[in-house]
Chain A
Amino acid sequence: DAEITQSPRHKITETGRQVTLACHQTWNHNNMFWYRQDLGHGLRLIHYSYGVQDTNKGEVSDGYSVSRSNTEDLPLTLESAASSQTSVYFCASSEVGLAASGEQYFGPGTRLTVT
């Protein structure tokens, strides 16, 4: 069955360190997204990609970057981790077009703590 996996599932890091969260999907979807979920703010879009070599900023992109070198993966990098980036991070994918509904599928999430 197609799925989205995220790794690691839990991560503790120190302020100032670079951290990369992995996202891998086997849906063969062109669209991939990163969200963060925080109490009081809900889910907010960080970055997204509509295909290989395409990346775009979302609502809360400061301090984050992504790269898309193939269809399956969209890693999220925190350039210099800050305590404000302690959150749960979700990766998602979808497909649009005549034969696709646009339904978005989510990974299990990564809980990141920055100390």
Chain B
Amino acid sequence: KQEVTQIPAALSVPEGENLVLNCSFTDSAIYNLQWFRQDPGKGLTSLLLIQSSQREQTSGRLNASLDKSSGRSTLYIAASQPGDSATYLCAVNVDTGKLIFGQGTTLQVKP
């Protein structure tokens, strides 16, 4: 059974710091991996999607990497800002869209 783990569960950093969020999964048979952002009381916003054949994707200050063989993905946030404060979720696509989610990392960026 696929399991997705995100470490750490919570993270607090000063503004301007570069940071890495980790996501690990137990079964390498995935179609893709998606990173989401969730603000309190809100829905999920897709940040990056990495196909199983890709190694990384970039969008602005965000860079996501995927090492399928070792079951790991990282989300790198450069020059963090207070507006980046949110919960970040990773999810693996195991079967035509069925997503298995990690528990998330709650990030606080202090001014």
Interface residues of A (CB under 8 A from B): 31, 33, 35, 42-45, 48, 50, 58, 90, 92, 94, 96, 101-109
Contacts of B44 in A (CB 8 A): 90, 92, 106
Contacts of B45 in A (CB 8 A): 106
Q: Is the interface of B mostly helix, strand, loop or mixed?
A: strand
7 interchain pairs, CB-CB under 8 A: A31-B96, A42-B103, A43-B99, A92-B44, A92-B99, A104-B97, A106-B36
On whether the beta carbons of B93 and A102 are closer than 8 Å, the reply is yes
Tally of B interface residues using CB under 8 Å: 22
Write out, one digit per residue, whether chain B residues 51-67 have a CB within 8 A of any chain A CB (1) or not (0): 10000000000000000
Contacts of A44 in B (CB 8 A): 101
Q: A48 vs B97: C-alpha distance in the bound complex, in angstroms? A: 9
Q: Which B residue sits closest to A56, measured CB to CB?
A: B98
Q: Which A residue sits closest to B99, measured CB to CB?
A: A104
Contacts of A90 in B (CB 8 A): 43-44
Q: A43 vs B43: C-alpha distance in the bound complex, in angstroms? A: 12
Q: A48 vs B100: C-alpha distance in the bound complex, in angstroms? A: 13
Q: A35 vs B44: C-alpha distance in the bound complex, in angstroms? A: 12
Contacts of B99 in A (CB 8 A): 33, 35, 43, 45, 92, 104
Q: A90 vs B99: C-alpha distance in the bound complex, in angstroms? A: 13
CB distance from A45 to the nearest CB of B (A): 6
On whether the beta carbons of B97 and A33 are closer than 8 Å, the reply is yes
On whether the beta carbons of B42 and A102 are closer than 8 Å, the reply is no
On whether the beta carbons of B97 and A42 are closer than 8 Å, the reply is no
Contacts of A101 in B (CB 8 A): 32, 49, 51
On whether the beta carbons of A107 and B43 are closer than 8 Å, the reply is yes
CB distance from B79 to the nearest CB of A (A): 25
